[in-house]
Structure 1
Amino acid sequence: MPKDPLSAQEEPAASDPAPLPTAPRPRPPTDGGPPPAAQADQPQEKAPASFIFWMVAANFGVSMAYIVPMTYSLAVRIDDLAPGREEVLGYVTGTAQFTYIFLSPLLGVWSDRTRTRIGRRRPFMIGGALLGLLALGGISAAPNLPLVGVSWVLAMVGWASVGQAILNTQADRIPEEQRGRISGLTGLSAQAAPIIGIGLVSTVTWSTTLVFLLPGAVGAALVAVFLVIGREADSRGMAAKAGVSVRTLVASYAFNPRAHPDFGWNWLGRFIFFMGLYFNTAFATFFYAQRLDLPVREVAGTVAVIGAVGVATAMAGAVGGGYLSDKLGRRRLFTLIGALLFVTGAVVEAFAYSFPVLMAGALLMQLAIAAFGAVDQAIVLAILPSRAEAGRYMAVNAFSQKIPSGLAPLLAPFIIAIGATGGEQNYTVLYLSGAVLALIGGLIIFTRVKSVR
């Protein structure tokens, strides 16, 4: 494998046990970074190239495993069992998202307090991948909508738990000077995974079982390799935390925005931005089917073509944005640029009725999502209120994305019904609403987060 482009020096092999963070190097306070109190528990050792590679690969696999069903497979399955009832997709995905939203802080607190020979994060990767893979098989065999819904809740909880554990590992191991670029790589992997996944399942649409299990198998395999290669330090020697009480669990769902204003403003900006994003992606399969006058099952090929071309734009947004934000020492500017690009793409798609125009809008949106997601993730890692409780705070931060992902599909059916005529839903107003929200979210982060440049 080529030398690590993220580091100019040799690093220890990733097969060695993960080094614990060394004593923090003092940093003088500056206008462009968090205050010393926020830096005290920052990881200092650069992550080795092979660890980064397989962490990104695992993130790719997890994204494929659960985003392909969200963007394509579930729509096909629901259309098979209840043709013409598009709103059911919103109910199923929204219920699953809110279930995970409820559980994620509990899992974060549990992860922070886990003391095992294989570390604190890896048990959640193993358990989540097994649960997610079994549940995807359950969806393919489910004979009715209620069983599809229950199975998707379990699949969502499983795969999202793996993704959360990988992100917690990133918070544990990645120092400030690598965050922009590595966040760009993980963002790119999340963008590319469903694109490649939909391309894969488009070749096996004759088998409902393979449509669900093929992405899941890829995800489980890549997570398994990361578990072997990216070894985590034994956590049994870490200071034991107090037992989990009811008060601790309740407190894990919230934080004090007055004590941590940057974390609070960034959370709000992310929430509004992702609400706009999910307005414009939750019903993408049905949207393309309507605008191109195609049967729902035949949309996979169209989505795969748009997505394959979009890999290059996603790479430019994620890696380019992450690299430039590291190089220039600027984060907030790139989140605003991402929001503006998203607005442009959403407006183009709102009024698109041909394949070339739809592709142009989709490419702009993929570029925007990749740029925003990569750089804002680096912001989040810099402003965590406590790195000792990274699992808890990363779960709270995930609310800013998970709540919109559950709420948007529930609200979207009412929006697309506004002015709907002739059996066609009004996707124009949905996409324009998403554009407005994304812009507001980007402006909040750009103007209100102060400790990160």
Structure 2
Amino acid sequence: MTAEPRPHELSAYAEPTRPVRAGWIAAFAGVWLGLWMAQLVPVQVLLPLQIADQHRTEDWLASLVAYGIVSAVAGTVVVVAYPIVGALSDRTRSRFGRRRPWILAGVLCVGVGLSLLGIQTETIGTVATWTLTMLGFCMASAALTAVMADRVPAGQRGLVSGWISAPNALGILLGMVLVTAVFTTTASGYLALAVCAVVLAVPFLLRLRDIPLTPAEAAMLGPLTIGAVLSSIWVDPRRHPDFAWTVVSRVLINLSNAIATTMLLYFFTFALHLPDPTEFLVFTTVIYMVVTIAASIGFGKLSDVLGRRRVFVLASGAAQAVAALLLAVAPAESTAIVGAVLLGLGQGCFFAVDQALATQVLPSAETRGKDVGIMNIALAGPQAFGPLLGAGAVVLFGGFAGLFLASGVIGLLGAVTVMRVRSVR
């Protein structure tokens, strides 16, 4: 494989100006595809089924709550780990660069975690191995998002961000096909996802030319101590309000999506009483995937051309809210299909443009890894805590209508919040 030419920027902290090539983008999309499959398919399919089997003598509500607890424990670890991993990658000195060692370590951790997860028969083992998997996802995704800030010019980030979002949708579909039609046991399904995560990361790891820190650049960050890393994690919202508002907006919009989508299998099974809820979940996911891929690539490029980000995030949050509210007031197969279309439009637009917006409000070039680590809490945290909060909403409101209403309101709040960002149009 032909390696990407060494970047012309001599400093690891220089703002990138040379556009990345199509091959680089393709490899970047590939590693994200493997990671999204590893993170999202267990959340939507394998974990609920595995935990339901572990609670086969109890009612479905107990299984739903147990699923939420498993996700929340892993989410707590991720929320703590993201900025720490990012800060460590900022300070990593190796001849392979700052980010590449963390990407490699992360995908290997994901592979090991998923392989072990498939053989667990008790909740405690499921918690431990899913936490290991999510820690690996945290390590790899934090480094990858920092790579985009390090290597992709601002005017190209909408397009490249779209190739983070498109694999998100494609990964869910491919992963579901793998674990429901090809590898039909829980253990083999997890193993297939583990292999995909590792193999799909190889082209990007070979292609990436990550500029190592010079001694002078490393000295700018001070000594690598626990105290220095922990103290660097704090970002003062008064000094960097756009960064803070972007984080809040991301948390709300991602939470809106997570508390609804992670409960869909339960919704199709116990609210709509479908004869084959897994098949219908795959069907609606296909619709979601097609719309998301088209929206992410199209809106990402359009945002680059127009030089605008906020209005796209606003529209995406509104689309997600409408999808959730439809399911709340008119739960049926037909509205689930319409909701999949709206959710695909919203998620595709959001992921494409929001990643670009996030990299444009980072406080410092020297601490990109740490800062995008904080940003990524707003992505992985809601995904991890979404099942527990969703389960709580179902219990609290006595059904799924309250769950979807909460999702819609939270999505609208997230959409409005992004308009407080002033430094990005």
Query: What interval of TM-score do these two structures reach, taking the shorter chain for normalisation?
Result: over 0.9
Q: What does residue 19 of structure 1 align with?
A: 7
Question: RMSD of the alignment, in Å?
Answer: 2.1
Is the aligned partner of 1:79 residue 2:52?
A: yes
Task: State the SS of the aligned residue for 2:238.
Answer: coil
How high is the TM-score relative to the length of structure 1?
A: 0.87
Q: What does residue 239 of structure 1 align with?
A: 217
Distance 1:18 1:163 in 2: 23
Structure 1: runs of 5 or more not aligned:
1-12, 25-39, 421-425
Is the aligned partner of 1:449 residue 2:421?
A: yes
Deviation sequence 1:186-223 (CA, Å, 0-9, x none): 11211221122112211146321121111221121110
The answer as to whether partners of 2:253 and 2:411 remain within 8 angstroms in 1 is: yes
Deviation sequence 1:120-176 (CA, Å, 0-9, x none): 111112111112111111111112110011010001101221122211111110001
Q: CA deviation at 1:238?
A: 6.6
Distance 2:104 2:351 in 1: 26
Q: What does residue 383 of structure 1 align with?
A: 361
Instruction: Show the 5 A alignment for 1:269-418.
Output: 269-294=249-274, 298-418=276-396
Q: 1:324 to 1:267 in 2, by over 3 A?
A: same
Q: What does residue 189 of structure 1 align with?
A: 167
Deviation sequence 1:359-415 (CA, Å, 0-9, x none): 111221121011112111111111110122110000111222333333333332221
Q: CA deviation at 1:50?
A: 0.9
Please point out which of 265, 268, 271 is paired with 2:248.
Answer: 268
Q: 1:430 to 1:392 in 2, by over 3 A?
A: same
Deviation sequence 1:294-341 (CA, Å, 0-9, x none): 47xx53322222111222210232112111111111111111111111
The amino acid of 1:438's aligned partner reads G
The answer as to whether partners of 1:118 and 1:235 remain within 8 angstroms in 2 is: no
The amino acid of 2:170's aligned partner reads A
Q: What does residue 45 of structure 1 align with?
A: 18
Q: 1:151 to 1:238 in 2, by over 3 A?
A: farther
Task: State the SS of the aligned residue for 2:95.
Answer: coil
The answer as to whether partners of 1:269 and 1:442 remain within 8 angstroms in 2 is: yes
The amino acid of 2:178's aligned partner reads L
The answer as to whether partners of 1:132 and 1:159 remain within 8 angstroms in 2 is: yes
Q: 1:180 to 1:94 in 2, by over 3 A?
A: same
Q: CA deviation at 1:60?
A: 1.0
Task: State the SS of the aligned residue for 2:366.
Answer: coil
Q: CA deviation at 1:268?
A: 1.4
Is the aligned partner of 1:221 residue 2:199?
A: yes
How high is the TM-score relative to the length of structure 2?
A: 0.93
Q: What does residue 103 of structure 1 align with?
A: 81
Q: 1:191 to 1:254 in 2, by over 3 A?
A: farther
Is the aligned partner of 1:439 residue 2:412?
A: yes
Please point out which of 253, 271, 287 is paired with 2:233.
Answer: 253
The answer as to whether partners of 2:11 and 2:211 remain within 8 angstroms in 1 is: no
The answer as to whether partners of 1:188 and 1:315 remain within 8 angstroms in 2 is: yes
Distance 2:385 2:112 in 1: 26
Task: State the SS of the aligned residue for 2:346.
Answer: helix
Task: State the SS of the aligned residue for 2:16.
Answer: coil
Q: What does residue 43 of structure 2 align with?
A: 70
Q: CA deviation at 1:234?
A: 4.1
Q: CA deviation at 1:102?
A: 0.8
The answer as to whether partners of 1:108 and 1:392 remain within 8 angstroms in 2 is: yes
The answer as to whether partners of 1:275 and 1:408 remain within 8 angstroms in 2 is: yes
Distance 1:237 1:55 in 2: 28
Q: CA deviation at 1:99?
A: 0.4
Structure 2: runs of 5 or more not aligned:
none
The answer as to whether partners of 2:78 and 2:381 remain within 8 angstroms in 1 is: no
Distance 2:10 2:17 in 1: 6
Q: Considering fraction of residues, name the structure with more helix.
A: 2
Greater mean alpha carbon deviation, residues 277-286 or residues 401-410: 401-410
The amino acid of 1:19's aligned partner reads P
Q: What does residue 4 of structure 1 align with?
A: none
Task: State the SS of the aligned residue for 1:206.
Answer: coil
Q: 1:288 to 1:236 in 2, by over 3 A?
A: farther
Q: What does residue 209 of structure 1 align with?
A: 187
The answer as to whether partners of 1:196 and 1:308 remain within 8 angstroms in 2 is: no
Greater mean alpha carbon deviation, residues 113-122 or residues 395-404: 395-404
Is the aligned partner of 1:59 residue 2:38?
A: no
Distance 2:288 2:248 in 1: 28
Is the aligned partner of 1:143 residue 2:121?
A: yes
Distance 1:233 1:95 in 2: 35
Total equivalences in the alignment: 418
The answer as to whether partners of 1:313 and 1:363 remain within 8 angstroms in 2 is: yes
Distance 2:383 2:143 in 1: 19
Distance 1:394 1:348 in 2: 33
Distance 2:330 2:205 in 1: 44
Distance 2:131 2:274 in 1: 29
Task: State the SS of the aligned residue for 1:68.
Answer: helix
Q: What does residue 33 of structure 1 align with?
A: none
Deviation sequence 1:101-132 (CA, Å, 0-9, x none): 11122111111111111111111121111121
Q: CA deviation at 1:236?
A: 5.6
The answer as to whether partners of 2:271 and 2:400 remain within 8 angstroms in 1 is: no
Q: 1:199 to 1:300 in 2, by over 3 A?
A: farther
Q: 1:261 to 1:419 in 2, by over 3 A?
A: closer
The amino acid of 1:272's aligned partner reads L
